[in-house]
Amino acid sequence: MVRRRIRARGIVQGVGFRPFVYRIAREHGLAGWVANSPAGVTVEVEGDAASVGRFLDSFRREAPALAQIDEMAVEDLAAAGDTEFVIRESGGADAEFVLVPPDIATCAECRGDFTDPANRRYLYPFTNCTNCGPRYTIIEDIPYDRPFTTMSVFPMCAECQREYEDPGDRRFHAQPNACPVCGPRLDVPLEEVRGLLRAGQIIAIKGLGGFHLACNAEDDAAVRRLRERKRRSDKPFALMAWDLAEVERVCLVSEDERAVLTGARRPIVILDRRPGTGISEAVAPGNNTIGVMLPYTPLHHLLFGDGLNILVMTSGNISEEPIVSRNEEAPARLGGIADAYLTHNRGIRTRVDDSVVRVYAGRERVIRRSRGFAPLAIDLGMPVRQVLAVGAELKNTFCLTKDHYAIPSQHIGDLENFETLEFFEETLEHMRRFFRVEPVAVAHDLHPGYLSTRIAQGMSGIPRVGVQHHHAHIAACMAENHLREKVIGVAFDGTGYGTDGQVWGGEFLVCDFAGFERRGHFRYVPMAGGDQAIREPWRMALAWLRETFGGAVPELPFLAAIPERRRAVVEAMLAGGVQIVATSSCGRLFDAVAAMLGLRLETNFEGQAAIELEAVAAPGVHEPYPFEVDGAAIDLRPVIARIAGELRQGVPGPVIAARFHETIAAIAVEVCGRIRAADRLERVCLSGGTFQNRRLAERCLDSLVCHGFEVYLHAQVPPNDGGISLGQAVIASNAA
């Protein structure tokens, strides 16, 4: 007889791990017990040596699909003479470290339950089991047990209790287990809600991580009304489709995209849309892609039918404020938008938006990391000090580190208003408690005006580490790819504060976690009126043309659309150097070219012009424009000159857009080649918001690989500023 204790760490709670252990222990005829611990799961098994060996094999190989074992320690104990195997109640919380599971989309078996007229959960919108359902959004504290969730106010009925206590049941220790008798309820019958949606109304629907605003995506008038009321002039709305067939009716879906759409995380997937599908044009004006997700809770599944196949499901908020999650705040904050409400009485402890991903370069790439991902830890493959990194300004996330992990927060949003700041602070307080993190340093961006920087400065008694924006971008890419040695970092980005006080964004770095050298950058151009130049890409086009042609700017067609007085003001700024910041931004260069092509002179949201430039770029065009590299400065004036010339010759915009993308990829190859020759570095990390552009990312990747580089992209955190906090965290954790 032998006895072994096994301690497993990772994602082992809330994913059906204890019933799994119970089952395999019994299969191998072993005695002992299994329990959740704050650090993961602890098991003791006793039996003959061969059976224990087979048990350990199964333990490693057959773990539930949603589990993730990061660490497993086995020790020998003296036999205790146990005769049966039991599941023990969870122990209390101590100072150890546990990973908290994210929310998981409804599983196929639960869907079977609530669609079966004979099942006691028929049409019950809060059906869940050990393999699916709410987790992070309802957890108040760890260990993850019902009394520490917002389900604590719903005592289970006898039947649910029986399932909960039966190790052979799929709902054994499913903490949010519920049924129509004992569980949460909707305040309006679903039939009525479907009727209102069919009638063209906008409904605020309380879901898993907050409210959505929903309307029928095929009802043009309803979508337009939502757009007007939400004051979201052009920013695309996400859609939720009834099933995969409906997604495929409106979009082109690849095999990989299908897997992501139907996976347990159920993010919004950015897909190429098909023309003429009946979806309102107002869903995503001027865009040839569209974000679509499948239902991820029973409530969402049950919204469809009766002629409703596809719904707009946009975050329930006003412009850039955080998503609304409490019943009582909904009327005040969404009253001007929603015609009616669908709420329920299950509390949302933590607000979590839908995640957004795009599939390219062979895998899923996160654009917004929230539901289904947060608060999953990212294994860094190296020990780290405990730090807090507060992130950037736009698309803010923060990040905690501990042990071997980085734990990024869910998407917080643009830190530009009081509500978002509150969301930041409440989430930070919550996550620090969950993960028992006591930061020894706080990392922040160098930009003195960022609210996140000011939050860091307000924390007394803790050393601060300022991290340059693009160094953080590249470090984030290094961290998730487990790179530690020096790399070449290509940061193509919108805006980031440089060490010279200028706006950086077309950067070539040589860096590791300890520091960076700026080895190349796009030649500076003036941004007339600072941030106003971000909202008005024509200002960047004019600046580039003046840089290229001096006073003799060619009269391209787009200039005719600019009121003379406004143009004169900007020309005066550019000529006099008044209200000017210099920028090397790649995002602003994309803006300038989009404006030159007449695609977009003014934007409604960050990156809009660049998205439209990508959208029009013709396939199959591979010839770059000439450019010059002068020391560290990459001179794009020859590119602008050629584009101006081609526009005058009547070369079609899509061809120019394609050649421009090729040019940026060619610049990456050229400059990385020079750095390789000087430093013998082969590894290249690509990061920055501009790499959300699939065409650019794929062309840079392919060209660099062709030239013998080892190229790394983001997958787990966004290339945009949502990934900054991870980079800041590893840099600060690495600082002495």
Q: By C-beta, is 653 or 722 nearer to Zn ion?
A: 722
Residue 680 near residue 668, CB atoms below 8 Å: no
- Residue 157 touching Zn ion (CB under 5 A): yes
Least CB distance from residue 450 to Zn ion, whole Å?
Answer: 11
Residue 719's nearest CA partner among 444, 367, 406 is: 367
- Residue 179 touching Zn ion (CB under 5 A): yes
Distance CA 540, CA 573 (A): 12
Least CB distance from residue 75 to Zn ion, whole Å?
Answer: 34
User: Which segment (11-19, 176-184, 233-241, 544-552) binds Zn ion by CB under 5 A?
Assistant: 176-184
Least CB distance from residue 557 to Zn ion, whole Å?
Answer: 32
Q: Which amino acid is at 268?
A: I
Interior/surface letters 702-734, b for 16+ CB within 10 angstroms, e for the rest: ebbeeeebebbbbbbbbbbbbbbbbbbbbbbbb
Q: By C-beta, is 181 or 221 nearer to Zn ion?
A: 181
Least CB distance from residue 494 to Zn ion, whole Å?
Answer: 6
User: Which segment (48-56, 124-132, 580-588, 634-642) binds Zn ion by CB under 5 A?
Assistant: 124-132
Least CB distance from residue 720 to Zn ion, whole Å?
Answer: 7
User: Which segment (85-93, 129-137, 216-224, 421-429) binds Zn ion by CB under 5 A?
Assistant: 129-137
- Residue 503 touching Zn ion (CB under 5 A): no
Least CB distance from residue 301 to Zn ion, whole Å?
Answer: 12
Q: By C-beta, is 74 or 182 nearer to Zn ion?
A: 182
Three-class SS state of 554: coil
Q: Which amino acid is at 105?
A: A
- Residue 103 touching Zn ion (CB under 5 A): no
Distance CA 86, CA 31 (A): 8
Q: Which amino acid is at 475?
A: A
Distance CA 733, CA 696 (A): 32
CB-facing half-sphere around the CA of 421: CA atoms within 13 A:
10
Q: Which parts of 478-497 interact with Zn ion (CB under 5 A)?
A: 493, 496
The three-state DSSP-derived secondary structure of 422-442 is HHHHHHHHHHHHHHCCCCCEE
User: Which segment (175-183, 540-548, 615-623, 641-649) binds Zn ion by CB under 5 A?
Assistant: 175-183
Q: By C-beta, is 140 or 169 nearer to Zn ion?
A: 169
Q: Which parts of 180-219 interact with Zn ion (CB under 5 A)?
A: 181-182
- Residue 129 touching Zn ion (CB under 5 A): yes
Residue 491's nearest CA partner among 508, 479, 476 is: 508
Distance CA 330, CA 353 (A): 16
Q: By C-beta, is 12 or 107 nearer to Zn ion?
A: 107
Residue 495's nearest CA partner among 636, 607, 387 is: 607
Least CB distance from residue 113 to Zn ion, whole Å?
Answer: 8
Distance CA 378, CA 395 (A): 19
User: Which segment (67-75, 106-114, 448-456, 661-669) binds Zn ion by CB under 5 A?
Assistant: 106-114
- Residue 374 touching Zn ion (CB under 5 A): no
User: Which segment (160-168, 188-196, 264-272, 634-642) binds Zn ion by CB under 5 A?
Assistant: 160-168
Task: For residue 629, count other CB atoms closer than 10 A to its CB.
Answer: 14
Q: By C-beta, is 181 or 252 nearer to Zn ion?
A: 181
> Total binding residues for Zn ion by CB under 5 A?
13
User: Which segment (84-92, 105-113, 300-308, 601-609) binds Zn ion by CB under 5 A?
Assistant: 105-113
CB-facing half-sphere around the CA of 104: CA atoms within 13 A:
25
- Residue 132 touching Zn ion (CB under 5 A): yes
> Could you say which of 148, 260, 721, 728 contacts Zn ion (CB under 5 A)?
721
Q: Where are the alpha helices (DSSP H) in 314-450?
A: 330-334, 418-435
> Could you say which of 107, 380, 528, 713 contacts Zn ion (CB under 5 A)?
107
- Residue 160 touching Zn ion (CB under 5 A): yes
Q: By C-beta, is 143 or 688 nearer to Zn ion?
A: 688
Least CB distance from residue 77 to Zn ion, whole Å?
Answer: 35
Strand 203-206 to 340-342 pairing: parallel
Q: By C-beta, is 321 or 721 nearer to Zn ion?
A: 721
User: Which segment (328-336, 422-430, 639-647, 719-727) binds Zn ion by CB under 5 A?
Assistant: 719-727
- Residue 476 touching Zn ion (CB under 5 A): no
Residue 367's nearest CA partner among 727, 42, 617, 692 is: 692
Q: Which parts of 72-101 interact with Zn ion (CB under 5 A)?
A: none
Q: What are phi and psi of 661, to 5 degrees?
A: -60, -45
- Residue 110 touching Zn ion (CB under 5 A): yes
Q: By C-beta, is 131 or 370 nearer to Zn ion?
A: 131
Q: By C-beta, is 3 or 469 nearer to Zn ion?
A: 469
Residue 293 near residue 266, CB atoms below 8 Å: yes
Least CB distance from residue 452 to Zn ion, whole Å?
Answer: 13
Least CB distance from residue 415 to Zn ion, whole Å?
Answer: 14
Task: For residue 563, count other CB atoms closer than 10 A to its CB.
Answer: 8
Contact string 670-709 vs Zn ion (x = CB under 5 A): ----------------------------------------
Name the token pair of 565. Answer: 């007085």
User: Which segment (150-158, 223-231, 259-267, 303-311) binds Zn ion by CB under 5 A?
Assistant: 150-158
Distance of CA 504 to the CA centre of its chain: 23
Residue 687 near residue 476, CB atoms below 8 Å: yes
Distance CA 683, CA 483 (A): 9
User: Which segment (135-143, 153-161, 516-524, 677-685) binds Zn ion by CB under 5 A?
Assistant: 153-161
User: Which segment (36-44, 76-84, 174-182, 400-408) binds Zn ion by CB under 5 A?
Assistant: 174-182
Distance CA 86, CA 462 (A): 46
For the CA atoms of the chain, what is the radius of gyration? 27
Name the token pair of 181. Answer: 């008798």
List all residues 6 or more positions away from 23 whose beta carbon is below 8 Å from its beta carbon.
167
- Residue 640 touching Zn ion (CB under 5 A): no
Least CB distance from residue 193 to Zn ion, whole Å?
Answer: 23
Q: By C-beta, is 408 or 624 nearer to Zn ion?
A: 408
The three-state DSSP-derived secondary structure of 244-277 is HHHHHHHEECCHHHHHHHHCCCCCEEEEEECCCC
Q: By C-beta, is 321 or 493 nearer to Zn ion?
A: 493
- Residue 105 touching Zn ion (CB under 5 A): no
Residue 583's nearest CA partner among 611, 631, 543 is: 543
Distance CA 704, CA 685 (A): 11
Least CB distance from residue 171 to Zn ion, whole Å?
Answer: 8
Name the token pair of 690. Answer: 């501009």
Q: By C-beta, is 124 or 625 nearer to Zn ion?
A: 124
Least CB distance from residue 725 to Zn ion, whole Å?
Answer: 12
- Residue 131 touching Zn ion (CB under 5 A): yes
Distance CA 273, CA 253 (A): 9
Least CB distance from residue 94 to Zn ion, whole Å?
Answer: 31
Name the token pair of 102. Answer: 């994210």
Q: By C-beta, is 217 or 475 nearer to Zn ion?
A: 475
Name the token pair of 85. Answer: 């195997």
Q: By C-beta, is 183 or 316 nearer to Zn ion?
A: 183
Question: Is the C-alpha dihedral spanning 616, 622, 624, 629 positive or negative?
Answer: positive
Provide the binding-site residues for Zn ion, judged by CB under 5 A. 107, 110, 129, 131-132, 157, 160, 179, 181-182, 493, 496, 721
